[in-house]
Amino acid sequence: MAGIIGAGVTLRGIPQPDFRFTFILDSAIVAADVGKPVAIKAGAANTIEIAGDGALIVGVLKSFEDRTIEGIKVGAVETKGGFLLNTTGAIAVGNSVVGSATAGSVKAGTDSRNRVVEIPSAGTAIVLVM
């Protein structure tokens, strides 16, 4: 694709502000987790956590606020778009992904809401969350 004028087409990083929602963040989430894939935390209303092994990806954490006075952390999650994510294991264009045992990464799995659309370098993928 490098020979195409303008470097072709990519789905990476096109913001989708209409699909950003505020969630309560799991207490283990820190500011450095912005940009990582997240999942709904079981048993905790309106709460997300960093996607763990096999977890269905709901989106990517876009912001972090530690509301110490209120006793909670909150953040915006973008639930649709093309995201650059770290990967573990073998990933191919067309795969779907789920959370990996390596925190903040994804691996090949079964999730009808997303697809790998590009692999820019080893250990990363552009994942389109629909």
pLDDT tens per residue, range 54-108: 999 999 999 999 998 999 999 999 999 999 999 999 999 999 999 999 999 999 9
Domains identified in the chain and CATH numbers:
5-129 (2.40.300.10)
Q: Indicate if the pLDDT at residue 11 is higher than 80.
A: no
pTM tops 0.85, yes or no: yes
Bridge partners of residue 49, in order along the sequence: 39
CB 76 within 8 Å of CB 34: no
Q: Where are the beta strands (DSSP E) in 12-110?
A: 20-25, 37-40, 47-50, 59-61, 65-67, 72-78, 81-87, 96-99, 105-109
Structure-model confidence comparison of residues 22 and 13, the more confident one:
22
The strand pair at 20-25 and 47-50 is best described as: parallel
Both structure tokens of 47? 């709460």
Task: In whole angstroms, give the CA distance from residue 130 to residue 121.
Answer: 22
Structure-model confidence comparison of residues 99 and 6, the more confident one:
99
